[in-house]
Amino acid sequence: MNLPQRLLAPAPGWIVDTDVVVVGSGVAGLTTALRIAGAGLPGSVPTGLRVMVVTKDVLAAGSTRWAQGGIAAALGPDDTPQEHLRDTLVAGVGLCDRAAVQVLVDEGPAAVRELVELGTRFDRSSTGELSLTREGGHHRDRIAHAGGDATGAEIERALVSAVLASPGIEVIEHALVLDLLPTASGGVGAVTLHVMGEGELDGVGAVRAKAVVLATGGIGQVYASTTNPPVSTGDGVAAALRAGAVVRDLEFVQFHPTVLWLGDSASGQQPLVSEAVRGEGAFLVDDAGVRFMQGQHELADLAPRDVVAKAILRRMRETGTQHVWLDAREFGTEKWRVRFPTILTTLLSVGIDPVSQLIPVAPACHYASGGIATDLAGRTTVQGLYACGEAACTGVHGANRLASNSLLEGLVFGRRIASDILASIQPGAPLPELGVDVRGMGIASSGIRQQLQQQMSADVGVLRDAAGLARASSVLQKLSARLSRDPRTESWEATNLLTVASALVAAAARRQETRGAHWREDFGERDDERWLGHLDLRLSRDGMVATDYIPGDQSGSPTVAEVAHR
């Protein structure tokens, strides 16, 4: 499949220089920026490095603000990092990088406490301790939350406030990342942007930097129905592919099991009904009122997300229905008002009173466990390029992300990227010399977006097989021939969606097994003999997606003792 290879149509009209450019303003990007600048925390000292944060919308408009459930860390008196590690490895179904998970759980508690120092107002008990709850796949109460079910919004508020107060951080809003420009030595030395603003930085331009950090969030808009905001068009992952970086395990797209069902014609961003609702005692039932998760898993309604999503899909097929029901009527009015005010407001706005009515839910695209491959310092396979947050594949999530590990991953690995950059870049050091990229130009037509999303939902969603994946590949091939000469934001986003969707389909077609969030109906069992490893994706110079199988070292496989712990 020959994909469009160059987004940048006109030459940059402006160029600005900085030391580090961070693309994305969620928890991962803002944490990285604050750490590099030496800002935000009490007693922090400016490092002298100039940091520029580039964000597609306004500073607080990313996916972080939509996180309802909370952030997971071993903060309770009866919990330990090793127990958090065991739960994460089991959820990842053998493909977690154990070293990455160890970093996450060991450094996680300090990272959350740092958020508190930054001013994040987590919910607390009557004794003043952090109020912790439980979500799917966790065997301990270790989910810290804020505003009941507005954790992401509160974390984003605290981080944005700290960034805006930092004199060492500049911000460019309404800026879509187009491409990464190479250095003369083959690394990355600049980001090209389309700024939809006013004044000096309006239009297409470039930011030159000694290091580029991609924290652009997820790829959820690849699907017709998703919990992701409209900005989640895979821009960072697509740009990294075009720059020659390896993208890993993109087939593992997590579908959240309990997304509010608004009718079979609903599309775009859908309201999430947090897993924490089940953590507080709600349960799933079918049309007949049967609690079908009983006997499916030892944790029943709090099983890992892939287990619950598959059970819901099976029950929907068996009963011929388009959704199942979530029963939280026993909560009562006060618990709904205090613990889940955001969800309650959403439900009431569509005419559902959860105090007296069942909530219709069905799985929808939620989170990409794969992404731009990185090491433990957040470095990608391209010199000068880092990635963190949902755009990255650190190895933490494996084949299926454990609930509420995503915010923690952004915090922990954002801090690690900052440490690596601070150790390798000196203030005042010269910028790298830019090289020349001779790839051809091409931008997809903005008109392909809806058809692409519908095809991906139909054939590359929760249920996959060879015939459906072949159909999807054929449709994407035809869509790739529909090019545009109009360099609008919609066309650039369509190109990114096409690039990411093509890579996802290639990986899903190659992995002939069912594991975690990847469900092949024609290969219904997990196959450790052939597939206990990773699929690395590259975009060749001629626009073809190449997949390489990298055998795993079983570092992410739970030990006998860990399995027994279940």
Question: Which helix (H) or strand (E) is 415 found in, with range?
Answer: helix 405-424
Pairwise CA distance, residues 201 & 172, whole Å:
9
Question: Which helix (H) or strand (E) is 106 found in, with range?
Answer: helix 98-118
Looking at residue 344, its pLDDT comes to 95
Looking at residue 42, its pLDDT comes to 77
305 is an active site residue: yes
Asked whether 395 and 405 are in contact (CB, 8 A), the reply is no
Asked whether 283 and 358 are in contact (CB, 8 A), the reply is no
DSSP state of 513: S
Looking at residue 566, its pLDDT comes to 40
Looking at residue 61, its pLDDT comes to 75
What's the one-letter identity of residue 331? F
Q: Which residues of the chain have a pLDDT value below 50? A: 6-10, 560, 563-566
- 3-state SS string over 6-35? CCCCCCCCCEEECCEEEECCCHHHHHHHHH
Looking at residue 97, its pLDDT comes to 96
Which tokens sit at 322?
């388009």
Which tokens sit at 242?
């075009």
Looking at residue 559, its pLDDT comes to 58
pLDDT in tens, 295-341: 888 889 988 888 898 899 889 989 999 999 999 999 999 999 999 99
Give me the domains of the chain, ranges plus CATH numbers: 257-363 (3.90.700.10), 446-541 (1.20.58.100)
| Active-site position among 305, 401, 449, 520 | 305
CB atoms within 10 A of CB 46: 12
Looking at residue 437, its pLDDT comes to 65
